[in-house]
A and B are shown apart, each in its own frame.
Chain A
Amino acid sequence: MKNNKLRVTAAVLIVGVLSLALVGCGSGSTGGANSEVKLQGAGATFPNPLYQKWFSEYNKITPSAKFDYQSIGSGGGIKQITAKTVDFGGSDAPMKDDELKAAPGEILHIPTVLGAVVVTYNLPSVTTDLKLTPDAIAGIYLGKITKWNDTAIASSNPGVSFPDTAINVVRRSDGSGTSYVWTDYLSKVSAEWKDKIGVGAMVNWPAIGTAAKGNEGVTGQVKQTPNSLGYVELIYAEQNKLPYASVKNSSGEFVKPSLESVTAAAAGAAGQMPDDLRVSITNAAGRDAYPISSFTYFLVYKNQDDQAKGAALVNFLWWAIHDGEQMTKPLLYAPLPAEVAAKAEQKIKSITYQGKPLRTS
């Protein structure tokens, strides 16, 4: 008797499972027959909160085009767009020359927004916002400054008493555009860093602290672990109510990361931008500039393989640098300066399908 019960149960389970498989395959083919276009993107975690908002809003107004973006890190964005396993990539790190050469087609960098990489920390005994100099930051990440009460930190924060504890330094474990911006900044302010480590989305870090995946991971670790310090995009620190430091810029001012100071950093950017729009704005000139700011980019192929997808992509990009820019401020990303937006428009208009631009106006 029990045997029969078992057999029936198992049979029902197996039949149910197999029929679901058929459903999955079946809807795969009907999905193709639909007029709905699906685009997959992946990459930078830096702008992920904003991109999720963008795609959610855009999907509402353009139901015929469904976008998805997976936050796996700029390195992942670069790798997957090169392998053409996604339709567009996201990266704060501009692609290097040899990376661009390795791609099967010309890849365009479309800047989307500006963000700040902030130094966030978890120091329960300190309630005021800290001020940090470039030397202090470089020293911490080179492993030379190991304790919170080191003079390099204490001297720029008079009146604050630091505990005699070790700094738990957190960095990225994945190929990260945020790491790129961070190492780019450190290379500019520390000759030792530039010489020993250099710039990259993934570098050979000194033997310091722990590593976590994504901006999400670093924020999570700093939040969970007392005496930690890490670098993350501004919105991650804000949304998780973590404090972040003011950093001394090239003019000698301690500037707090904010929309205004990031925008100030990009002020001179349009003038210096090369044709392919790959530019670094770390350690920018200007009294109010926050020194660790960066553009973030969408990576798309200039020549699209699929007309429907290409058109959907181009229309989204156009929407993003116009309407999408309205949504950036609440999430603490700075919108593109007008001159940069104009250049981005040119780039979007140059995206073609079979030689013909997909968007003319």
Chain B
Amino acid sequence: MGQSLAGGGSASSLTPNQPTLQFGRAPSSLRARPRIGDPLFKWATGFFAVLIAALAVLIMVEMAINSKLPFAKFGFGFLSRSVWDPVKEQFGALPFIYGTAVSSVIALIISVPVSLGVAIFLVEKAPRKLSNPILFIVQLLAAIPSVVYGLWGIFVLAPMLRNHVYPALQSTFGFLPLFQGNQNGLGLLTAGLILSIMVLPIITAVTTDVLRAVPGTQREASLALGSTRWEATLIVLQNAKSGISGAIILGLGRAIGETMAVTMVIGNRSQISASLFDPSYSIASVIANEFTEATSEIYLQSLIELGLILFFVTFIINMLARLLVWSVTRGEGRGGHA
């Protein structure tokens, strides 16, 4: 039925030259009823859409309201203080910001090259028959729960790192303060490594979308000028630059919010130290560990203020990422969340 029925009234009058749709001229049998259906429908569904949106605002507002005490006591200095002393009621966010930031950066340093490699392979090199299953398998990595990554991290990754990888790192690069000190498998570097596997799927998926969205003409033009396939790929990458940045930033957003896997392998120590082998603490981890036990009000609210900081950072990162990805894909593709 390729024709669109335009005009109102009876279906028997086919007027293909009238492209505009006029509704509201229902058959007389319906005209007498009060027209509450449509506005009611709009309001009802609108209510739910607004509800979801409002929850985002509510969460932020609730956390802001419940951060009054530490904000009054420490102000913005909370961000630069590095003491976390529940006994003397002195709190500061710096160790957790440090742990969150460094573990996420480590994750990106490792996963970005690999993700780019995978995405390039899938889009440029592999035939569709191979690339779709591979993409699916990579996405299954994202489906594995965080707590399972943590479990695997404690019993498989950490011992492996402690017994084989870290000693090698220490003997080769031990002159750097990054790799000095006692290593026992649980710490900042291990957390970063686990996070790298966890963000790999999202960076790969979004980069794949972004690369696919680059017009084929770019590739073809380059090839026509005599470039190798790799050089044509470089042109495509150039085009997709902002989208790829968006993908990376999305991965960052995922990494900083990760809770369970990080809590189980990061070592849970709220001190900043130079060595990557040393235990550390992330914002999400300290909330997970200490929230149910924060006995004093200011202790609890300091944890909530940490959550607020995390919320803002995630918010800004996600917003930035979406803008960058959107600029390349223009709404095609999955919209940037896994």
Contact = CB atoms under 8 A, between A and B. Distances in A.
A133 interface: no
Nearest to B83: A204
Given A198-B87, A207-B273, A224-B159, A99 B268 contact: no
B268 A72 contact: no
B293 A168 contact: no
A39 interface: no
B309 to A, nearest CB: 20
Interface stretch (B25-33, B182-190, B226-234, B330-338): B182-190
B294 interface: yes
A99 B293 contact: no
Contacts of B86: 175, 200, 202-204
Interface in B29-88: 83-88
Nearest to A204: B85
Nearest to B181: A166
A205 B295 CA distance: 18
A212 B293 CA distance: 15
Nearest to A166: B182
B220 interface: no
Interface string B213-247: 00000000000000000000000000000000000
Interface string A276-299: 000000000000000000000000
A201 B292 CA distance: 13
Contacts of A227: 184
A79 B294 contact: yes
A76 interface: yes
A225 B90 CA distance: 32
A204 B295 contact: no
A173 B296 CA distance: 17
Contacts of B184: 168, 210, 225, 227-228
A207 B85 contact: no
A72 B292 contact: yes
A213 to B, nearest CB: 6
A14 B271 CA distance: 47
Contacts of B279: 209-211
A202 B296 CA distance: 11
B269 A211 contact: yes
A interface, size bucket: 35 or more
Given A210-B186, A210-B279, A212-B268, A99 B85 contact: no
B293 A175 contact: yes
A80 B292 contact: yes
A225 B185 contact: yes
Contacts of B87: 198-200, 202-204
A205 B270 CA distance: 9
Contacts of A203: 85-87
Interface in B12-29: none
A72 B294 CA distance: 12
Contacts of A228: 184
Nearest to B294: A79
A98 B295 CA distance: 10
A256 B273 CA distance: 36
A73 interface: yes
Contact of B269 (A73, A174, A210, A221): A210
A142 B196 CA distance: 34
A82 interface: yes
Nearest to A176: B293
Given A75-B295, A204-B88, A210-B269, A175 B290 contact: yes
B182 A82 contact: no
A79 B293 contact: yes
A82 B296 CA distance: 10
Contact of B267 (A76, A78, A175, A211): A211
Given A166-B182, A204-B88, A210 B267 contact: yes
Interface in B254-292: 267-269, 271, 273, 279, 289-290, 292
B236 to A, nearest CB: 34
Nearest to A228: B184
The 8 A-B pairs of least Cβ separation, nearest first, read A75-B293, A204-B85, A175-B293, A173-B268, A211-B268, A210-B267, A166-B182, A200-B87
29 contacts: A72-B293, A73-B292, A76-B292, A79-B295, A98-B296, A102-B295, A166-B182, A173-B268, A174-B289, A175-B290, A175-B295, A199-B87, A200-B87, A202-B86, A202-B290, A203-B85, A203-B86, A204-B90, A205-B269, A207-B269, A207-B271, A210-B268, A210-B269, A210-B279, A224-B158, A224-B159, A224-B185, A225-B184, A225-B186
Interface of A: 72-73, 75-76, 78-80, 82, 98-99, 102, 166, 168, 173-175, 198-205, 207, 209-213, 221, 224-225, 227-228
Given A82-B295, A209-B269, A228-B184, 10 more contacts: A73-B292, A73-B293, A75-B292, A75-B294, A174-B293, A209-B279, A210-B184, A210-B268, A210-B279, A212-B268
